[in-house]
Structure formats: structure tokens, C-alpha cells
Amino acid sequence: MTTISAVVLARNEERHLPDCLASLRWADEMLVVDSFSTDRTPEIAQAAGARLEEREFINYAAMRDTALQLSNGDWVLFIDADERVPDDLRDEVRAVVAAAPPAQAGYWIPRKNYIFGAWIRHTGWYPDRQLRLMRRAGARYDPARPVHELATLDGDVGQLTCHMTHINYETVGEFIRKQKHYAQFDARKLWQQGVRPKAHKFVTQPLREFYRRLVQLSGWRDGWRGWLLSALMGWYQFEIYRVMRRRRGETTPAKA
């Protein structure tokens, strides 16, 4: 019998974790890999019947690799604490796993992002496919992508049709806090690739991203949320270069 481990990476997720785990009770194993939360996350996980493992956070790719090693199921379904698995997706996951040929290594899952209280259908947030369902044997995460991580699978990869639900950013403050965190990883990655914070990039990169989100990705169709998100993603590009400029002041960079 093929088994499925539903895995949640968490830190201080007492608000979202109960509903997340409630949507995963059908799995053969629920595993919560916690990065030493200071709230009630560990107690909530154990009360819900999940196996709790605590590990120090290094980066997102490393944490997912650790979770793969800790899982017991033949297949692993990664779900974030602010995501939910509706019944139709649950049924589709069960069906494809049960019928998967040996060469099938994983599946992309489309995701509905709810941002500022609404489902964002454009602006680059839909269908927002995530490679989250994978055969545990032969799955690993690319260490070169410490954030916005992506699994490397040994075999064929398909696509599911049912959606997971993502209770994404609810306020602008939450968006800025999380993006500042992500910017640290993206700035480090670009720096390692030889990118340097030239002065004109502080203007051209944000403007380019704003235009891409609003016009090329039809963000205007999402109304005021699309305009706001396009502007915020432009700001995110500025933040990445700001972090790199600070890094440049702390180190002796190679010649650009």
C-alpha cells in the first residue's frame, strides 16, 4: 500500500497551523518540522496528532531536504502552515499516488493566493504552480535556491488540476516583513552570482518589475490590489539591491 506523508515546516505558526493540519488528517503521516517556535506551535502540532521534529533553521531548501529525510511515507506532500488542502485536492492526490507508474516522480499543484482579502487571479500569482507532491526516494532540493526553493526529482513530473489554498498576505505590513526576510536570501544569491548594486539598478529594476506585474502579467485586472501588489513587488527589487549595497559595505567585492 502506497503511503503519503503530509509535511509542514513551521515557526511560530499558532494562528495558521490548526486549520492547516485539519485539512491534512487524511494523510498516513502528518509531520511538523518546527524551527524552535516560541509560541504554541509545538503543542498544537502534537495535539492534532502530528509527529513533531525540531530542527534549527538554515534556509528553506535545507529544511525541506531535512523533512524528506525525516518522513516515512512513500510520497511526500509539502504544505505550508498558511495553506490548506481542500477535499477535491485531497481526493486527486490520493488517486494519482495510487495509480502512479514507477517512472512518475512528482506533481505540480496549482495554488490560489488570497492576498489582502481576495483571490488574486493575475499579477503573477495565478496559477502559481508549486512542486509539492513527490516520491520521497530520489527527491532533493537545489542548495543553490535557498529561498523560492525547487525540488529536483528523478523521474517524470506531471500536473494536478485541483488547487491548494494559500492564505497569503493579509496586510501591507505582513507583506513587507516577509519580503524583507526573503530579500536577504535573494540578495545573497545574486551577490554570489557576481551581481553588484550599481546605482541605476535602484531605479530600473523596481520600475521594470512594476511594469511587468501591472501590464505584462495583467495586474490591472486585479483592481487596486493589482496596482498595490505591482508597486510592492517593485519595492521588493529595491530592497534586494539595498541589502546588496549594505553587503558591499561590509565586504570587499570583486570587480564588477
Question: Strands, E, within 11-68: which ranges?
Answer: 29-34, 51-54
Q: How many residues does the chain have?
A: 256
pLDDT in tens, 175-204: 999 999 889 988 988 888 888 888 999 999
**With 0-12 CB in 10 A as exposed, 13-18 as middle and 19+ as buried, what is 48?**
middle
pLDDT at 89 over 90: yes
CA distance 213 to 206: 11
Cell triple for 205: 529594476
Question: Strands, E, within 74-216: which ranges?
Answer: 75-78, 83-84, 104-109, 111-115, 118-119, 130-135, 139-141, 151-153, 156-159, 164-167
pLDDT in tens, 145-159: 777 788 999 999 999
The model's pTM: 0.88
Amino acid at 63: M
Residue ranges and CATH numbers for the domains of the chain are 4-167 (3.90.550.10), 172-250 (no CATH)
